[in-house]
Each structure stands twice: as C-alpha cells, then as structure tokens.
Amino acid sequence: MARLLFSLLSRPWFRRLSGTCCPLREHRGLLRIRGPSTATFLQGLITNDTECLRDGALYAHLLNVQGRSLYDVILYRLSGEEEGQSDVLLECDLQAMEPIQKHLRLYNIRKKVEVTPCPELSVWAVLPGQKQLEPPADKVPSPMVVCSPDPRVPVMGWRVVAPTEEMVRDLLPDTQLGDYRDYCKHRYQHGVPEGVKDLPPGVALPLESNLVFMNGISFCKGCYLGQELTARTHHTGVIRKRLVPVQLSSPLPAESEGAEIVTTSGKSAGKFRAGVEDSGLALLRLEHIGAELQMKLGGREPIGVKASLPDWWPKPGDGA
C-alpha cells in the first residue's frame, strides 16, 4: 500500500484541517489507472489537461461523441513516470464505476494501461471550518493517504483518500465527524453538482453544468472525445441555462427529480435536478434568476423556488 499511494501531505501548503469530515465510501468509488500510457490515454478522453495533475488533484468530465457529459471525475496523481509507469486514482460516483470501466476499455486501443477498482480505499470530504491549524512538529502525516484541496472550488474544502477511518481520524483530529447528508446539503447550498443524479449521463451539457467555473476544462489542450461542440459553445459565448442552487419553500418530495419549474405566470423557467431537504440544484434559464418561481408537481400544491448565483462564480468582467 505504501508503494501504491503518493502523499501530497508533504507539500508546503498542507495544513492541519478543521471542519466537518464526511465519509463518502457508500457513494463514491475509486479506480486505479496505471501504465506507461496513462497520461496520453486520459488526455484523449477527459475535458481537462493531464499536465495539470502535476499540481495535485484534477476535476474533469468524460464526454460522449455528441459533447454531452457522461461522468464527472476527480483524478489524483499517485506517481510520476517511474520505471516507465504512471499511476492515477480516478474518483467517481459509485453508480458510474462499471460504466466508466466499460468506457475506458472501449477506447483503450493498443494503449499500455491497466484499470482496476480500489475497494480497499475510501474517499472523505473535509468541509471547511473556521480555521486551519499547523500540524505539530512531532507528528508526520502518514504516506499511505492522499490529501488535496478539492480541485473544483475552495468552498468544497479538501479531499482525503485513505484505507481506514482510523487513519483519517488520526490525521484530522481537529475535525468533527459528519455524514453524507451533511456533505450533500453543503454541495447543494453552494451550487456544486456531483454524480449521476446532478449530471445525468448523456443529458447534461458540460458548460451548462458550470465546468469552466469549476476548473474542469482546458481550452488549450489537444483533441479529446466530445471536444467540438464544447469548444464551439464556449467560443460563441452563448450559454442561456446553467445549474444553480435553489432554496425550496418546503422539504423536497420524492418525485421532484426532473420536475418543471415555472414563473408565477406559468412560463417555463427550467427543471429541477436533485436535492436534499429544502436545498437543491436546478437547470434554469439565466433570465429567470431572481424571479419568483414555482415547482410544479402532479396532484400537489406548487413549491416555491428561490434561485441564486453562487458566491464562487466569477463576477462580470472577470473574463470567465
């Protein structure tokens, strides 16, 4: 195990973290991609530039040939080119594990790459706390974990990959233990999509899903699967709908996924994607952000919907 994992903890920017530590084992899985062709293989399939993996974790989407998102992934660099090998961990929605393996096998043509599941490892999210503390001088972090800032947006805190809960708790004694519901509520309140519910495979468009805002795409790298439509949309600058966080006037009913959202006059504004309790994500026309909206549900009273723009989005004039 020690030879498998490359620790990011010795980097100068590492700090002992405080906040809420949430286990994601039941919902997020890991694949190990290893071989001399790993970097070039991934470069032709993901939206981001594998060269950026030198700086730690990397967020990206896998697209289909029509340019729609199939799966959102977070990549972790375990090692560089050592003895002709390169190791990468790929984190994804647990429901997408098998489809992603099939997708990678489909395009693994004469590439020296091996893809294997890593059930012995689990993912943890460390949601930001009020402070960050220096690690004590007499305690050296274990080399058997990966710890990196979440590559999407700072509001998502840190990502930790480790074999056991005891190791995580030992590494992060200043955090409190949370659960997956805490993690999802935090994501939805801040407008960060993740997984097949928020980003339906073959349906979601990467730029409408705020892939640019979440540091998940490179427009300078070479060709990759699904690039043409994405690049053309970006360069025209015409994006009329986006995933935004929404606050509901009452707790979320079970049949809400995909429900239509309308204005008070009945004009279609978009569709609800997914959520927890009274927070969620909706794909809305930008012209209706700030308007009084309702979610239409068959046989139920409409639910009030309040949409907002996340604080981490670039402001007008920032060039994004």
The CATH code of the domain that includes 22 is: 3.30.1360.120
- Does residue 164 sit in the same domain as residue 51? yes
- Does residue 198 sit in the same domain as residue 274? no
- Does residue 118 sit in the same domain as residue 6? yes
What the block records as the tokens of 115 is 């893809």
Q: Which of 97, 299, 269, 294 is nearest to 195 (CA)?
A: 97
Q: Please say if the pLDDT value at position 24 is more than 90.
A: yes
- Does residue 250 sit in the same domain as residue 139? no
Query: Which amino acid is located at 6 in the chain?
Result: F
- The overall pTM is greater than 0.85: yes
- Does residue 155 sit in the same domain as residue 284? no
- Does residue 189 sit in the same domain as residue 69? yes
- Does residue 166 sit in the same domain as residue 250? no
Query: Which amino acid is located at 113 in the chain?
Result: V
Give the rounded distance of the alpha carbon of 11 from its chain centre. Answer: 23
Domain boundary among 236, 271, 293: 236
Rounded-to-integer distance, Cα 37 and Cα 50, Å: 12
Q: What is the DSSP string of 170-231?
A: HH-TTEEE--HHHHHHHHHHHT---HHHHS-TTT--TTTTTTTTTT---SSS---TTHHHHH
- Does residue 151 sit in the same domain as residue 250? no
Maximum C-alpha span of the chain: 65
Rounded-to-integer distance, Cα 78 and Cα 34, Å: 10
The CATH code of the domain that includes 272 is: 2.40.30.110
- Does residue 194 sit in the same domain as residue 278? no
Q: Which of 176, 227, 281, 170 is nearest to 48 (CA)?
A: 227
Average pLDDT over residues 38-54: 92
pLDDT in tens, 189-230: 999 999 999 999 999 999 999 999 999 999 999 899 999 988
What the block records as the tokens of 242 is 């986006």
| Host domain of residue 294 | 241-307
pLDDT in tens, 297-317: 877 788 999 999 999 999 875
- Does residue 71 sit in the same domain as residue 189? yes
Which band of pLDDT confidence, cut at 50, 70 and 90, is reported for residue 2? very low
Rounded-to-integer distance, Cα 53 and Cα 44, Å: 15
Q: Which residues contact 8 (CB under 8 A, 6 or more apart)?
A: 14, 56, 146, 147, 148
